[in-house]
Amino acid sequence: MAVALMAVAMTTRSILLRDVDHRIGRLLTQETREFANFVEQGVDPDTGTRFTEPRRLLQVFLQRQYSDPDEELLGLTRTAGPAPAVLRQPRDIAEGVALHRDREALARIFASDARSGTLDRPRGEVRWAKVPVRAAGDTPPGAFVVAFHADGEQAIAAEAFRTQLAISGVALLMTTGIGWAVAGRILAPVRLVRTTAEQLTEQDLTRRIPVRGRDDIAALAETFNAMLDRLERAFAGQRRFADDAGHELRTPITIVRGHLEVMGDDPAEQRETVRLVTDELDRMSRIVEDLLLLAKAGRPDFVAPEPVQLGELTADVFVKARALGEREWILDGVADREVLLDPQRITQAMVQLAQNAVQHTVPGQRMRIGSQEAEGRVELYVADSGPGVEPADAEVIFERFRRGTNRRGRTGGAGLGLSIVKAIAEGHRGGRVELRPTEGGGATFVLVLEEDR
Ligand SMILES: Nc1ncnc2c1ncn2[C@@H]1O[C@H](COP(=O)(O)OP(=O)(O)OP(=O)(O)O)[C@@H](O)[C@H]1O
Ligand SMILES: [Mg+2]
């Protein structure tokens, strides 16, 4: 702004000065033209005839002429000396600057060949124009001179320039002040975001930015807060996961240690302890394997889908599930079509479901395994005729380390099985796992996969 205002002021100044120049030029031309007319047409009022003498001509002309302020109209006539004689109007021009007193300058103007010029004097600039008078015969020549003291007009331009500079300065100060205040107001929320971000630590993600208004900054604050919500949830989930994992692993360790500490010398008792300890260690290693698998679940290479014949896959799963326990296994129905899925992972998930079903049933109970098509999706299911899942448990059993209230058979489960199934299902595009009641009692777990073609 300073540069712009300065440029405006400078431009204005030069325009004003050029205007002054033009005006003075026009004035000088006008005066000289009037004099030239008078020389041609003027008559002596006393005699009624044309002028014969330059001095008289100049005298009469000057008497009739009105000069502007800052303007001097002079008649010069030759004398014997170097300086001309001066005729002037009885006008007030400041004594110090008046040209009629500056004999030397007048002599120079009188002698000059030029018709106009500029005198640079310490007291100010003088623009002049001259019309020589030459009467008939040998009469000494004279000259009409009009002089304009330009410094007054120039001072006005300079004054305007100074005023404009002063106004610009004030305007600049005001805009700076207002700009400062407005920028401060606009940036205050940004600063708030920054300080909030600085105060956030991994331990304390609870801080939020207060959202005010409905502008871009408010939207930014909202986005930022939403990001913090996600971060907080992710951190909390991770922490809970680590806690639960630690807790789950501590139990078998405690059991193993307990058994080893009380183990006596009796070989039969020792064999029994070794059996129990090995059992616990197996359980531990299963938990660790499950945890490793779940840790991998977020990665993009967790599932590697390929075109698979769903009928064959269902039959394979059925054969593997049948080995899990003495039940009435039924291969319910197979959808015979090609589907894009990861066969290893899907088999793993189905075996998990079958395992759960076995755990919640007793020998001889009916289990159905099958696959079917449904509205652009395919479904693989394991339906048991056990006690089913309590409605209150239906939501939570898919979470890590969560077990339901209905637990039959061995109590060994860590509660990771269904989270693995869920991770595998959701690893497939549009995939999910659903829990439905079995007709006639029992739970049916269904892997729903999008059929993309
Ligand atoms: N077929 C089923 N019928 C009734 N309840 C079931 C069935 N499958 C799972 N559940 C309930 O869901 C809970 C969670 O199952 P999940 O497979 O995640 O853990 P788990 O079987 O207890 O342990 P893990 O599978 O890690 O050995 C179970 O504790 C059980 O209460
Ligand atoms: Mg299980």
Query: What is the average pLDDT value for the chain, to the nearest integer?
Result: 88
Distance 405 CA to ligand 1 centre (A): 9
409: confidence class by pLDDT, cuts 50, 70, 90: very low
Q: Tell me what pLDDT residue 202 has.
A: 67
Fold of 216-296: Helix Hairpins (1.10.287)
Ligand 1 and 55: CB distance under 6 A: no
Phi, psi (deg, nearest 5) at residue 159: -65, -45
The pLDDT of residue 331: 95
DSSP state, residue 136: S
Name the pLDDT band for 95 (thresholds 50, 70, 90). low
What confidence score (pLDDT) does residue 426 get? 93
What's the pTM?
0.58
416 C-alpha vs ligand 2 centroid, how far in Å? Answer: 7
pLDDT at 133: 84
Distance of CA 224 to the CA centre of its chain: 14
Atom from ligand 1 closest to the CA of residue 420 = 18
* Residue to probe by mutation, ligand 1, list 292, 397, 398, 421, most atoms within 8 Å of CB: 397
Residue 309, strand partner residues: 338
* Phi and psi torsions of 326, nearest 5°: -80, 90
At 84 the pLDDT is 84
Ligand 1 close to Cβ of residue 442 (< 6 A): no
The residue-averaged pLDDT of 157-184 equals 93
> In the beta sheet, which residues pair with residue 149?
126
- The most confident of 85-99, 100-114, 146-160, 164-178, by mean pLDDT: 164-178
Out of 169-178, 207-216, 337-346, pick the least confident: 207-216
Mutate to test the pocket of ligand 1, among 294, 418, 419, 421 (most ligand atoms within 8 A of CB): 418
| Residue 356 beta carbon below 6 angstroms from any ligand 1 atom | yes
Q: Give the nearest ligand 1 atom to 405 CA.
A: 31
pLDDT exceeds cutoff 70 at 412: no
Q: What is the DSSP letter of 202?
A: S
d(Cα 259, Cα 272) in Å, to the nearest integer? 10
- Ligand 1 in reach of 414 Cβ (< 6 A): yes
| Distance of CA 231 from the midpoint of ligand 1 (Å) | 29
pLDDT for 139 beyond 70: no
Arithmetic mean of pLDDT, 139-152: 82
Least confident of 22-26, 201-205, 232-236, 253-257: 201-205
pLDDT of 220 higher than 50: yes
Ligand 1 atom with least separation from CA of 287: 26
397 Cα: distance to centroid of ligand 2 (angstroms):
10
* Mean pLDDT on 31-56: 87
349 closest CA partner among 448, 449, 417, 451: 417
Task: Spell out the residues 6+ positions from residue 420 whose beta carbon is closer than 8 angstroms to its own.
Answer: 290, 293, 294, 297, 348, 349, 352
Question: Of the ranges 85-99, 139-153, 316-330, 333-347, which one carries the lowest mean pLDDT score?
Answer: 85-99
Which atom of ligand 1 is least distant from the CA of 418? 18
Whether 2-158 and 306-450 share one fold: the answer is no
How far is Cα 188 from Cα 210, in angstroms, rounded to an integer? 12
pLDDT score, position 18: 93
Query: Is residue 309 predicted with pLDDT exceeding 80?
Result: yes
Q: What is the DSSP string of 35-97?
A: HHHHHHH-B-TTTSSB---HHHHHHHHHHH--PPTTEEEEEEE--SSSSPEEEE-S----TTT
> 396 CA distance to ligand 1 centroid (A)?
10
Return the pLDDT at 406.
63
- Residue for token digits 């040209």? 99
- Is 80 exceeded by the pLDDT of residue 436? yes
Cβ atoms within 10 A of the Cβ of 427, count?
Answer: 23
- What is the pLDDT averaged over residues 348-368? 94
Separation of alpha carbons 169 and 182, rounded Å: 20
Note the pLDDT of residue 140.
53
For residues 129 and 25, give the distance between their C-alpha atoms in angstroms, rounded to a whole number: 9
Minimal CA–CA distance to 324: which of 287, 365, 295?
365
Beta carbons within 10 angstroms of residue 335's beta carbon: 19
Confirm or reject: Cβ of 368 under 6 Å from ligand 1.
no
What lies within 8 Å, CB to CB, of 419 at 6+ separation is 294, 398, 399, 400, 401
Residue written as token pair 């989930």: 237
Looking at per-residue pLDDT, the higher value among 275 and 187 belongs to: 275
Ligand nearest to the CA of 290: 1
Element (H, E) at 421: helix 417-427
Q: How far apart are CA 142 and CA 86, in angstroms?
A: 10
Q: Which of 356, 396, 444 to mutate for ligand 1's pocket (most ligand atoms within 8 Å of CB)? A: 356
Q: How many CA atoms lie within 13 A of 74 on its CB side?
A: 26
pLDDT (0 to 100) of residue 137: 56
Higher model confidence: residue 120 or residue 422? 422
Average pLDDT of the segment spanning 182-192: 85
Spell out the CATH class of 306-450. alpha beta
Give the other-Cβ count within 10 Å of 148's Cβ.
26
Bigger pLDDT: 409 or 369? 369
**Ligand 1 contact via 408 beta carbon (within 6 Å):** no
Handedness of CA 180, 185, 187, 188 (dihedral sign): positive
**Residue 358 Cα to ligand 2 middle (Å):** 10
Q: Best substitution site from 403, 436, 445 to test ligand 1's pocket, by max atoms within 8 Å of Cβ?
A: 403
351 Cα–ligand 2 center, Å:
10
The gap between the terminal CA atoms of the chain, to the nearest Å, is 63
Read off the pLDDT band of 369 (50, 70, 90): very high
Amino acid 142: pLDDT = 86
Ligand closest to CA 419: 1
Tell me if residue 329 falls in helix, strand or coil.
Answer: strand
Q: What is the mean predicted confidence (pLDDT) over 376-405?
A: 90
- For ligand 1, atom 19, name the residue with the nearest CA: 415
| Pocket lining: 386 vs ligand 1, CB cutoff 6 Å | yes
Strand locations in 101-141, DSSP E? 116-121, 124-133
Please report, for the chain, the start and end positions of each structural domain, with discontinuous segments joined by +.
2-158, 216-296, 306-450
CB of 357 closer than 6 angstroms to any ligand 1 atom: yes
Continuous segment of H or E residues that includes residue 450: strand 443-450
| Cα of 404 from ligand 1 centre, angstroms | 7
Architecture of the domain made up of 2-158 = 2-Layer Sandwich (3.30)
Instruction: Look at residue 410 in the predicted model and tell me its pLDDT.
Output: 47
